[in-house]
Amino acid sequence: MKGCDDARTWMARGGDGSLDEALRLALAAHLKSCAACRDEAAGQGDVASVLHARPAAAVPPGFSARVSARLDRGASWIELAEWRTWTWRLVPVAAALFLAAVLWSGGSASRGQAAASMSVALVDTDGARAAPEAVLWDSSIDEGLALRTVLTGARQTTPGEQRHD
């Protein structure tokens, strides 16, 4: 039994053919006397053979040209899909406009009102975290909470984050 455990460890270690000579001989000796490990080793080798012979898929035509075109363009789609990226990029803009709004609100009443509604919209953008569906991209939130949040349509807090009543 102990011999089999060692043998399997050596098989795993030598899975890229790089087992050192002493261990390779020890493994060979064990395999000679153990049918179960021989079978295990054969299985490892068979699977490696089949995978190695996997026919490569042809790269779709025009691939490198498309990469080039994407490099000419701006941010990639994955970056755009990551709401944290665009949210945080907007923070300084939102802050500046909010400040401007506060300053303007000291002026005429009508101008102040317009600025206040603008600031609400901007703060909302900044807080994309508050949108119920945003939890789907938030890796810090567990599935149960994410599901509840999406199903109920309301952002809920994690236990450690805020007191929940």
Chain residues that interact with another protein, rule: CB under 8 A: 8, 10-19, 24-25, 27-29, 31-32, 38, 40-57, 59-60, 63-64, 66-68, 70-71, 76-78, 81, 136-137, 139, 143, 146-147, 150
Is 3 or 107 the residue whose CB approaches another protein more closely?
3
Instruction: Give the C-alpha separation, 35 to 48, whole Å.
Output: 20
Neighbouring CB atoms inside 10 A of 97's CB total 17
Is 38 or 98 the residue whose CB approaches another protein more closely?
38
Identity of the residue numbered 121: A
Q: CB of 151: closest distance to another protein in angstroms?
A: 9
Please say whether the beta carbons of 83 and 128 come within 8 A: yes
Please say whether the beta carbons of 9 and 2 come within 8 A: no
Please say whether the beta carbons of 137 and 150 come within 8 A: no
Q: CB of 37: closest distance to Zn ion in angstroms?
A: 3
- Residue count at the site for Zn ion (CB under 5 A)? 4
Q: CB of 53: closest distance to another protein in angstroms?
A: 4
